[in-house]
Structure 1
Amino acid sequence: MRLALSLAVLALSLAGCSSTAPTSSAVDLAARADALTHDALVVDTHIDVPYRLRESPADIGAATESGDFDYPRAVAGGLDVAFMSIYIPAEYQETGGARALADSLIDMVEEIAAGAPDRFAVVRSVDDVDRLRSPRRVLLALGMENGAPVEGDLASLRHFRDRGVRYVTLTHSRDNEISDSSYDDAGTHGGLSDFGRQVVAEMNRLGIMVDVSHVSDAAFDDVMEVTTVPVIASHSSARAFTPGFERNMSDAMIERLAENGGVIQINFGSTFLLKRVQDDRDALRARLAADLDARGIDAGSPEAAAYETTFYAENPLRLAETTDVADHIDHVVELVGVDHVGIGSDYDGVGPTLPVGLEDVSTYPNLVEELLRRGYSDDDVRKILGGNVMRVWRAVEAAATE
């Protein structure tokens, strides 16, 4: 038998066949995945384009050399609805100006759409998505990352609702007046503040989705007690793969989110996906710090920045892969079912830590191919790509009393 197999392999080799060449079944699966991705409604709930453009202006209506998002790549990837993150750094909570920054970033998104109406359109409702969706247009929705622009005034929520913001991430990297952060050890409020409870109730009333990414575990529990409608985690992953990383969601939180009817949108960042990547990153940081100290280079100096660039080029982080994102989706599906998981990539937000195979918005078909390989049905893939979060958005709209 072994001799027969060896002769068969030899014959294939002599015929010019390569063991690394894709089989017809693999080609067929890739083509099926690409077709399904472009036919399905693809909704990515967290893309950090506005702040990227604030720091480094570019024309995303054309191909760009930097960043993870532009129009040609979005169309190639089948992206229909891109939630533009109106990201407000935590320092604005102390310095002031959070609301003004949020308005300026919203202005930017509106200007992008107005400048290229054949390529982009801003959407403010589920009906807008249904009405404006087309194969050659990328729809831009708005999600505000950090509730700091509320600035202590519930009326600000109505202002941002009227400007098109359709979800608010209650906090970011530090505790704010609304909520404690998963990245902050202070535990300022022990969860939501009293004002934060009012914010959640007002968001329910106005039809703004509550986003529990970035909040502490205690704040998540408080949100679940207050909200009367489903909530989202716009860009979080499963803590089962990253023990101790509070920024991701525990199994108990995912189960409670599902009971609420909500959805967790999986973050693509490698450090969100694998504990191994977190450990490797920390080890590289320690080596870098030791190198700088040994060379007498002050951290934060131009010399340190130059050395850091060279160091990471010579010592690249071993990244996650497309299969790891699919593992997180599998975990949520096994835990609570396919109706409670989606995609919130964090493109333009997690820098050079994106997985191999999911490097930018052109690559969604690679994830779909992996899901199909694992036996997901077309209907289940459609739910994951956008159907689930659209269900939540529709429910929040329907329950709004203003």
Structure 2
Amino acid sequence: MHRLVLGGCLGLAIALPAVASDAPPAAVQLARDALIVDTHIDAPGQLMKKWADLGKAAPDREFDYPRARAGGLDVAFMSIYTSPRQDDDGSAWQVANTMIDAVQALAARHPDKFAILTSPGDVDRLREGGRVLLPMGMENGAPIGDDLANLRFFFDRGVRYITLAHSGNNRISDSSYALEKKWNGLSPFGREVVAEMNRLGIMVDVSHLSDPAVRQAVELSTVPVIASHSALRHFTPGFERNLSDELLEAIAARGGVVQIPFGNAFVNPVAAADVQAYFRAEAEFNKRNAARKAAGQPLLDEKKFDDDWDAAHPSPPTRIDAVLDQVDHAVKLVGVDHVGIGSDFDGVSGNLPDSLRTVADFPNFVAGLQARGYAEADIRKILGGNLLRVWAAIEAGAEPR
């Protein structure tokens, strides 16, 4: 069911304007001058649904080259997302490799516009000429299967962070979305995965994990961890997908960084409550279908269930202030050095704040930070400096190759 992939791909975005025309000139200039790193964009999944040439204007997407440059985006982590269902049916390996191929093909088709990024030390060199850099993060460790050697395989293919689980428990970790947990945190194999990721220099991403799994990953990792796209539970009580203050502090205490997403379901408490209610309803739906299958009866229509749910629970209007409030709270709690951005563009079906609709809109985010009194140096940290610092520390902690 599609809502299981919140933070993955929820379908094609609606056509949107290309430029954030309402941003003040000072914000536009800083967005263009600063190094902007967005750690979570679901463009590869959208390419699997419907191909588009992202080197040109693609009005039905939230990421393309013209809007990235208009918004000042320099480093766009491409999400290599696989679902729990693909894990169950054995297709996750194939899907992940196909998505990686798509990202590499995009860069090869437009070498003047894109380049694959595999090390923070290459940013300045590769972005010369206005290129948008495309590092890759794997959302859900399902493609690893049961073989630690696959971590090296995907590292060699360019993957630089792995979100250990997604919307279901897997071989590695419990998921925040799962109503019933399997491992009480990380599995024994998951502990080996964390150690091998540290050895290779792959960032451990704790977004989507259950609270015990986040805590264990932070404690086990010998280098800082990241949350590639996680908002804060302070604003969405009971929503385990978002990080508690305690976990935010734990990540920061070990030198990590939390990347704030823009999607309404993460930053709007009404939308977050709807997501929680969906998972409860979805669990009951699956139980009914399991009983019908056992009785030899026709199964209920999953698409109709999702469509009916969406019709009854439209995403509430959300202002950019909801995202800025998240940043303020994180900065107040753990300091400006541990906060960044992981938008989830192309992953939440256009359910985004009014003035953060595409990658062209980063100047609006900058303007919001300026209006709240953030110094330019701190804005630059939030926009990308913090993530690159942490990535460099993780790379430095890897074993020499």
Fold equivalence (TM over 0.5): yes
What is residue 3 of structure 1 aligned with on the other side? Answer: none
1:368 to 366, 369, 380: 366
Task: State the secondary structure of the residue aligned to 2:325.
Answer: helix
Unaligned runs of 5+ in 1: 1-26, 287-297
| Aligned equivalents of 2:324, 2:272: Cα separation in 1 | 19
1:351 to 341, 349, 352: 349
What is residue 268 of structure 2 aligned with on the other side? Answer: 274
- Alpha-carbon offset, residue 303 of structure 1: 11
Given that residues 40 and 228 in structure 2 are in contact (C-alpha distance below 8 angstroms), is that contact kept between their aligned partners in structure 1?
yes
Q: Which amino acid aligns with 1:327?
A: D
2:244 to 240, 250, 257: 250
User: How many residue pairs were aligned?
Assistant: 361
Q: How do 1:83-232 and structure 2 match up within 5 A?
A: 83-134=77-128, 136-232=130-226
1:66 to 50, 60, 67: 60
Greater C-alpha Rg: 1
- Alpha-carbon offset, residue 285 of structure 1: 12
Cα deviation code 1:240-269 (max 9, x no counterpart): 000000000000000001101000000111
Q: Which amino acid aligns with 2:89?
A: T
| Aligned equivalents of 1:123, 1:335: Cα separation in 2 | 32
What is residue 318 of structure 1 aligned with on the other side? Answer: 316
Cα deviation code 1:278-327 (max 9, x no counterpart): 347789999xxxxxxxxxxx85567995x888x57xx8533221111110
Task: State the secondary structure of the residue aligned to 2:237.
Answer: coil
Given that residues 342 and 385 in structure 1 are in contact (C-alpha distance below 8 angstroms), is that contact kept between their aligned partners in structure 2?
yes
1:386 to 367, 370, 384: 384
| Aligned equivalents of 1:214, 1:221: Cα separation in 2 | 13
| Aligned equivalents of 2:206, 2:304: Cα separation in 1 | 37
- Alpha-carbon offset, residue 186 of structure 1: 2.1
Report 1 or 2 for greater relative contact order, CA contacts < 8 Å, sequence distance ≥ 6. Answer: 2
Given that residues 281 and 317 in structure 1 are in contact (C-alpha distance below 8 angstroms), is that contact kept between their aligned partners in structure 2?
no
- Alpha-carbon offset, residue 185 of structure 1: 2.2
Cα deviation code 1:322-374 (max 9, x no counterpart): 11111000000000100000000000001131111000100000010010011
- Alpha-carbon offset, residue 275 of structure 1: 1.0
What is residue 23 of structure 1 aligned with on the other side? Answer: none
Which stretch has the larger CA shift, 78-87 or 185-194?
Answer: 185-194
Task: State the secondary structure of the residue aligned to 1:51.
Answer: helix
| Aligned equivalents of 2:214, 2:278: Cα separation in 1 | 32
Task: State the secondary structure of the residue aligned to 1:256.
Answer: helix
**Aligned pair in 2 of structure 1 residues 28, 151: CA closer, same or farther (>3 Å)?**
closer
Unaligned runs of 5+ in 2: 1-20, 281-299
Identity %: 54
- Alpha-carbon offset, residue 30 of structure 1: 1.2
| Aligned equivalents of 1:228, 1:301: Cα separation in 2 | 43
Q: How do 1:33-48 and structure 2 match up within 5 A?
A: 33-48=27-42
| Aligned equivalents of 2:387, 2:152: Cα separation in 1 | 22
- Alpha-carbon offset, residue 136 of structure 1: 2.2
**Aligned pair in 2 of structure 1 residues 226, 274: CA closer, same or farther (>3 Å)?**
same
TM-score (norm 2): 0.85
Given that residues 277 and 320 in structure 1 are in contact (C-alpha distance below 8 angstroms), is that contact kept between their aligned partners in structure 2?
no
Given that residues 227 and 257 in structure 2 are in contact (C-alpha distance below 8 angstroms), is that contact kept between their aligned partners in structure 1?
yes
Given that residues 75 and 135 in structure 1 are in contact (C-alpha distance below 8 angstroms), is that contact kept between their aligned partners in structure 2?
no
**Aligned pair in 2 of structure 1 residues 186, 133: CA closer, same or farther (>3 Å)?**
same
**Aligned pair in 2 of structure 1 residues 339, 183: CA closer, same or farther (>3 Å)?**
same
